[in-house]
Structure 1
Amino acid sequence: MEEADDHSGEDHGHHLPAVEDWPKGFGEASWWPFITAIGAAGFYIGASLYVIATQTDLLGIAVGPAVFVASAFLFLAGLYGWVYHAFVAAYWEGDGHGRGLRFAMVLFLGSEVATFGAGFIYYFFVRTGAWENLPELVESGNVLSSLVIVNTIILVISSVTLHYAHIALHKNDRQKFIRLLAATLLLGVVFIGGQALEYYEFIVHEGFTITEGAYGSAFYGLTGLHGLHVSLGAVLLGVVFVRALYGQYDAEHDTSVSTVSMYWHFVDAVWIFLVVVLYAGAIVLG
């Protein structure tokens, strides 16, 4: 994924996990994004099947979770192939298309704005209509817990550490770059763990599930979508971190770092908006 360097023509034992020309006649293409998309869609299919199973006798209660777990493996496999194809292989082959990949990330984030926008429009549409039986968790104000506030602070700090890691790379301070990158990755993993803990507290202790009316579906749909994106960002940060340990970045070769930074700052901004609208907004307007 880096600009042209002196690795051209060398065989480092790294090969694309997907064919370079598939389907035939369409030039270089990759089917890994489609595998990843199918896995991501499976998350929502699994959640929907679980909801159906709780309301009817058409499906066993275990079908939805089984589809969800299978989709997770499919998603991770597709993500690995996609990341390797687009990010890692280009470095070893010396491809010089850094600007194109940065622009591609901008376009991708544009599609992500549309994706989250559709979710928020659904939420706003329901709010302006018949809003019935808000969960007790919301009416008591407990939906905006100290865990949510701490998790928000953690994610904001992770954006700061990643920003300064990128600056350190441009100053050729490799040790500081690696330390701050490691801190960002750790904070991201802690955030994911915090969101999992939040789900556990809400579902097990508060009895607040995805079947809890319109708000429940909106809450888990939007926070789950965001959690999926943070998990994706953590995987990308992990790839960047491992490559950083091998010394594959410098001030002139930082395309991966800049594109992953753009993505990470985006999910950070979405979370802040989500907290304001879905957590605090539900209490104020409830």
Structure 2
Amino acid sequence: MTVTDDSEDHGHHLPAVEDWPKGFGEASWWPFITAVGAAGFYIGAALYVLGQNETFGFVTPMVGPAVFVGSLFVFLAGLYGWVYHAFVKHFWSRDTTGGKALRWGMILFLGTEVATFGAGFTYYFFIRAGSQWSQALTHVPDGFLGALVLANTAILVVSSFTLHFAHVALRKGNRSRFLGLLVATLVLGVVFIAGQVYEYYEFIVHEGLSPTGGVFESAFFGLTGLHGLHVTLGAVLLAIVTVRAFKGQYSHERDVSVATVSMYWHFVDAVWIFLVVVLYAGAEVSF
């Protein structure tokens, strides 16, 4: 079935042609746009740090945030096209092929994510073992903030279970349970993000921490911020899956996007647990 037939039969279209560049079969330029937007996040963060230092007078403090916001729009546009091309098109064309390849694609993607977070943890452990650590400002949340971290951790862990059992319900044909648990997962994800934002507010406004305040802060905000970005992306993917679910686009035979999003969500859950152990609980542990 061609793209033209798809549009005529269902009133839907692909945001990218299937054969681009010409002669390379079914391809898409949306992953490249998404990658450009993702790279802009790191460039914006770097420019923000440079803008805080008067040595780099050619970079104003607002350049970094502007690049970050612009990159966010590019990233979301690329993500929309990519998701539509990779998943939604298969539904409208009634195409059930390619599921195994998409699952392996997600596994390979998560492998690159392990490398990304691994680089951040390598930086953290490097400064942790260095002589500068004794002068670094360490902070382990206690009281209300400590309870907030524990509550946020519990929320994210529970969301992994709700998503898992939502997928199980879909495969068993229990549509109402599938929808209910899927919505619960999305709500828990949004609550986690809100808790993370509030934690940042408390740290920056009341505790005096900042991303440029020292070696510990740079590692803390860098790693937790990177994780927060991934959870936000996961929430966007969950929202897309939820909308599609309410339109009746999933069944026990057609669950590729549910399976791949679940893999991604379980990954960010596991990373958060490791972050809590290393950054929060291990900040003041002596070697």
**Cα deviations across residues 78-115 of structure 1 (Å, max 9, x unaligned)?**
11111111111121122211111111111111121111
Equivalent residues, number: 279
Aligned partners of 2:6 and 2:12 also within 8 Å: no
Query: Counterpart in 2 of 1:221?
Result: 222
Q: Distance in 1 between matches of 2:159 and 2:195?
A: 14
Q: Distance in 1 between matches of 2:10 and 2:115?
A: 39
Secondary structure of 1:285's aligned partner: coil
Higher normalized contact order (CA 8 Å, seq sep 6+, divided by chain length):
1
Aligned partners of 2:16 and 2:28 also within 8 Å: yes
Report which stretch shifted further, 141-150 or 21-30: 141-150
**Cα deviations across residues 142-184 of structure 1 (Å, max 9, x unaligned)?**
7972211111110001001111111111111100100000000
Query: Counterpart in 2 of 1:93?
Result: 93
Q: Distance in 2 between matches of 1:224 and 1:25?
A: 41
Q: Distance in 1 between matches of 2:196 and 2:188?
A: 12
Q: Distance in 2 between matches of 1:38 and 1:188?
A: 26
**Corresponding letter in the other structure for 2:82:** W
Query: Counterpart in 2 of 1:151?
Result: 152
Q: Distance in 2 between matches of 1:28 and 1:67?
A: 32
Query: Counterpart in 2 of 1:231?
Result: 232
Q: How does 1:70-81 map to 2 (within 5 A)?
A: 70-81=70-81
Secondary structure of 1:55's aligned partner: coil
Query: Counterpart in 1 of 2:185?
Result: 184
Aligned partners of 1:137 and 1:208 also within 8 Å: no
Going from structure 1 to structure 2, the CA distance change for 1:136 and 1:260 (only over 3 Å counts) comes to: closer
Q: Distance in 1 between matches of 2:261 and 2:85?
A: 15
5+ residue gaps, structure 1: 1-6
Going from structure 1 to structure 2, the CA distance change for 1:160 and 1:240 (only over 3 Å counts) comes to: same
Q: Distance in 1 between matches of 2:286 and 2:203?
A: 21
Query: Counterpart in 1 of 2:163?
Result: 162
Secondary structure of 1:131's aligned partner: helix
Moved over 3 A (4+): 7-10, 140-144
Aligned-residue CA RMSD (Å): 2.1
Which of 51, 54, 63 is the aligned partner of 1:53? 51
5+ residue gaps, structure 2: none
Query: Counterpart in 1 of 2:139?
Result: 137
Going from structure 1 to structure 2, the CA distance change for 1:218 and 1:136 (only over 3 Å counts) comes to: closer
Query: Counterpart in 2 of 1:27?
Result: 25
TM-score by length of 1: 0.91
Deviation at 1:27, TM superposition (A): 2.2
**Cα deviations across residues 225-272 of structure 1 (Å, max 9, x unaligned)?**
111111111111111111110111111111111111111111100100
Query: Counterpart in 2 of 1:3?
Result: none
Q: Distance in 2 between matches of 1:130 and 1:230?
A: 33
Q: Distance in 1 between matches of 2:79 and 2:212?
A: 30
TM-score by length of 2: 0.91
Deviation at 1:137, TM superposition (A): 3.1
Q: Distance in 1 between matches of 2:143 and 2:219?
A: 17
Query: Counterpart in 1 of 2:37?
Result: 39
Deviation at 1:212, TM superposition (A): 1.7
Q: Distance in 2 between matches of 1:285 and 1:14?
A: 59
> Equivalent pairs: percent with the same residue?
68
**Corresponding letter in the other structure for 1:285:** S
Asked if 1:12 corresponds to 2:13, the answer is no
Report which stretch shifted further, 243-252 or 52-61: 52-61
Going from structure 1 to structure 2, the CA distance change for 1:141 and 1:150 (only over 3 Å counts) comes to: closer
